[in-house]
Structure 1
Amino acid sequence: MKCIEDEIPFELPEGWEWCRVRDIAAVKGGKRLPKGVGFSPCRTAHAYIRVTDMKNHCINTDDLKYISEEVFLQIKNYTISKDDLYVTIAGTIGVTGEVPTELDGMNLTENAVKITNIQINKNYLCLIIQSEFVQQQFQDKTHQVAMPKLALERILSTLIPVCTITTQSAMVSKFVEMDSLINQIREEKEILAETVSLTKSKILDLAIRGKLVPQNPDDEPASVLLERIRAEKEELIKAGKIKRDKKESIIFKGDDNSYYENISNNTICIDEEVPFDLPDGWIWCRLKSLADPHENSFVDGPFGSNLKTDHYTDRREVRIIQLNNIGEFTWKNNGIKYTTYSHAETLSRCKSYPGDIVIAKMMPAGRAIIIPDIEDVYVISSDCVRLQLPNYIDKRYVMYMINSPTINKSVMKNVQGIGRTRTSLSKLKELLVPIPPYKQQCQISATFDKSLFYFDTINALCE
């Protein structure tokens, strides 16, 4: 007999007792497949339950593996019953659950054990083993090697609190009740989150159709903004500071109410490309037509070898904008990486500044944010595109518009690749986008800003 005062973490209520797992159950190991033997290519009468199938409370049967009758006969003594519990003992330690009736008598991996011949309420024991108190004991008893492993003897010596069978049953019933309520709340939160997402999309869709804010016929039409950009380009071309775009686009609505695009004095009807009509004062244009007239205002990041890990620095010099910084309408301050001032000078074309718009080429393509002012200067990575706008185009409207369902659909229609699809700078430049008068751009962005505040508040309450 020895004193175990140091092991007892807290006092138990009257009628409760401390005991070891060995006092109320037996623990037996599973068995690995015989050397050189694999799983059956088709379903058989013998499932082989792996750690990857095991979750807390239950087994995931979506990807069960099976063994042949011949293999089963070699390891038939290592099965698990519906009256047992399983506990994972290798890799992921301590995942515990019950065996469903349909898997009664199936084979158990060597990386898990079964707790069998249970003398107390099985469901109660399952909950106790999943408790933080028991899980910490498992971690303390785990042999720390490349593949952590929990020995059977150490499970048997694990200390657990035991109460009367009546109390055990009552605790299990209360847990089931609470777990059901938690799952209901989780499902309702998911439904609410989906509703918020759909509502955001609907508001953006209304916004770019001219249906979110009142139309004012006295507002200066958007066509004047485009004329101003073209006039500034002409001045820069005459000064030799930029080259003329040989594919400059001008889109207009003809007397026949059809939409036309003029490129290099060649005019074609683009009615099939225009998704909907716009209010008076609005225009359709290519996204490139909104870019600031100066050189390199709409560019993608450097070729991969021009900005790689060798060019990174631990010093806070020039921040690199990566895909994981582009969130939903907002900057995500993830994966902070810097390059040196000297290397950034070699990437001057890709330099970016607070207030510029950054668009993702992939994962998924087309999402856009505005660069925050947490740094003075940035460079974009190869999977990003940077757009700079003149100060008479509202950047928040353009950012929201790019993220709208209509424009997103246009982006995704032209992506390339399998699995990790991506777009390109040239395709983004040719996006057909709706532009309202400047005053309405500001009204739309301010209205959606308010909506986002409420949506973010709802999402925060749901977390």
Structure 2
Amino acid sequence: MDTKALREKILDLAMRGKLVPQDPNDEPASELLKRIKAEKEELIKQKKIKRDKNETEIFRGDDNLHYEKFADGSLKMIEVPYEVPESWQWVRIRNIANIIAGGTPKTSVPEYYGGSIAWITPAEMGKKQKNMLFENPQRHITDLGLQKSSAQLVSKNSVVYSKRAPIGHINIVPFEYSTNQGCLSFESILVDSNFYYFEIKNVKADIENRASGTTFKEISATAFSDTLVILPPIAEQKRIVAVANELLAIVDKIESEQKDLKNLSTQLKKKVLDIAMQGKLVPQDPNDEPASVLLEKIRAEKQKLFEEGKLKKKDLEEITPVNAEDNAYYGKLPKTWSLTTLGNIGTWISGATPKKARKDYYQNGSIPWLKTGDLNDGYIHEIPDFITELALVETSVKIIPRNTVVIAMYGATIGKLGITTFETTSNQACCACLNVSEVDKNFLFYYLLSYRKQFIDSAFGGAQPNISKEKIVITPFVLPPVREQLRIIGSLTKFESIIHQFVQ
């Protein structure tokens, strides 16, 4: 279930008047707006807020269209995003709230910091977006810091909004606070702050579209105040908040259970994969050709390739599994299985990166060039990068046939896997297994998947840890009979399908 889309749908319904029924006994928004205007006038008289010279009034005309009346008496027809119930009204944010900007006291003056006034920044807000309320502030300024800067004291239960870096972090602050210049505060006037927490989240795209700036986008206090929002009756605002919170709590629970289920499914997959690689997932068939015979066939195939000049003599060398004799895990394999190494079952190659300065190596290239970011732990159907025939001839890149298993060796992608569905090349961070005649590609894929943690744990290096091709070829590999490989693959595929249904 897409819980993000579900949350968005709940808010969308709420802001269209479709989440709770309208009550004809509610005071209509038009009357609420009159009371808000009167309250603002009183606050202006008390010098608690300044008069907004950009104040406008939105109304529906006799032609059923929406118009905006400006301070000079002029009218302009406006488009509203959607129709709302008759008892609602469209307003600008400036009509229903006092918008307060922030500031930063000089950091060079210690006396400005460490006081009792919470001082909120977008960076700290970013850590609190999972919750509606902004609690446990980490930074504070003093009364002196407030007086000596453009920071302002904001009433408790106001909505704080990040105006840049990034735009759109939002919380309700249940105590008096101040902010830096990266935030704006919505100090409500006779409207429900909790409702406008949801409404402002709902119009985030519109706010972002009206932001300006080159290095980074920013929404100014004026542009934020111009945001078109809906005004339902105050009683309905509270009903919407109650129902929305109830539904969103259910979505949170679903999401939590989905995460628990996903974690459980991941653990189950690892366990089943581990059981499969011990020969305990499917029963052995005494009629299967044993793996020891497969190894002989692999040796014979390698010898043939050597004689044809397709392999080097060093590729014929047998590699003994490291610590195989005292490894209890591998000592319990079925009798028809064999313990060998990845190097013994095929030829492992890594790729290269043609010089980026050589445009003729890349421009109009038609040969796919695989990177570790293209590995998706599944079949690879398309990749974005290509090189030219010239690059193939003049550099050390190598052709990787279709239906080849590829593993990532570098950095954060160590152990990522993919199976090619087309002929390709790769960069040096990828390692591919060629000439695998007696090992099913899907079984090799599952084995490498089961071994991923060991590969990651054995990585070495500083800024970008890696595993080498040399480390891969000496890695132990359990080889079942071919027919048992296919039975194991069938069981794993069926199990994954069942798990996928539950997780979805």
TM-score interval w.r.t. the shorter chain? 0.7 to 0.9
TM-aligned CA distance change 1:366 to 1:125, over 3 Å: closer
TM-superposed CA distance for 1:318, in Å, is 0.6
Number of residue pairs the alignment of both structures matches: 428
What is the CA–CA distance in structure 1 between the aligned matches of 2:152 and 2:217, rounded to whole Å?
22
What is the CA–CA distance in structure 1 between the aligned matches of 2:119 and 2:361, rounded to whole Å?
48
What is the CA–CA distance in structure 2 between the aligned matches of 1:429 and 1:184, rounded to whole Å?
46
Counterpart of 1:52 in structure 2 is: 123
Pairing of 1:57-456 with structure 2 (within 5 A): 58=132, 64-66=138-140, 71=145, 74-75=148-149, 77-99=151-173, 101=174, 104-132=175-203, 135-139=204-208, 141-237=210-306, 242-245=311-314, 248-249=317-318, 270-272=325-327, 275-291=330-346, 297-302=347-352, 304=353, 306=355, 310=359, 313=362, 315=364, 317-331=366-380, 333=382, 336-347=384-395, 350-362=398-410, 363-373=412-422, 377-404=423-450, 407-418=451-462, 420-456=464-500
What is the CA–CA distance in structure 1 between the aligned matches of 2:324 and 2:497, rounded to whole Å?
41
Instruction: Kindly indicate whether the alpha-carbon contact (under 8 Å) linking 2:378 and 2:417 is maintained by their aligned counterparts in 1.
Output: yes
Q: TM-score under structure 2 normalisation?
A: 0.75
TM-superposed CA distance for 1:233, in Å, is 3.4
TM-superposed CA distance for 1:69, in Å, is 7.6
Pairing of 1:21-40 with structure 2 (within 5 A): 21-34=93-106
Deviates more, 1:11-20 or 1:387-396: 11-20
TM-aligned CA distance change 1:306 to 1:149, over 3 Å: closer
TM-superposed CA distance for 1:28, in Å, is 1.4
Q: TM-score under structure 1 normalisation?
A: 0.81
Q: Partner of 2:380: helix, strand, or coil?
A: coil
TM-aligned CA distance change 1:4 to 1:215, over 3 Å: same
Task: Look up the equivalent residue of 1:51 and give its one-letter code.
Answer: P
Task: Tell me how large the CA RMSD over aligned residues is.
Answer: 3.2
What is the CA–CA distance in structure 1 between the aligned matches of 2:301 and 2:220, rounded to whole Å?
76
What is the CA–CA distance in structure 1 between the aligned matches of 2:241 and 2:334, rounded to whole Å?
63
What is the CA–CA distance in structure 2 between the aligned matches of 1:269 and 1:9, rounded to whole Å?
69
What is the CA–CA distance in structure 1 between the aligned matches of 2:388 and 2:117, rounded to whole Å?
60
Task: Look up the equivalent residue of 2:473 and give its one-letter code.
Answer: K
TM-superposed CA distance for 1:141, in Å, is 4.0
Task: Look up the equivalent residue of 2:385 and give its one-letter code.
Answer: K
TM-superposed CA distance for 1:443, in Å, is 1.6
TM-superposed CA distance for 1:140, in Å, is 5.1
Counterpart of 1:17 in structure 2 is: 89
Task: Look up the equivalent residue of 1:371 and give its one-letter code.
Answer: T
- Tell me the alpha carbon deviations over residues 392-450 of structure 1, each in whole angstroms, 9 at most, x when there is no partner: 3211111111111xx22332332113464211100001101111011111221222233
Deviates more, 1:413-422 or 1:183-192: 413-422
Task: Look up the equivalent residue of 2:407 and give its one-letter code.
Answer: I
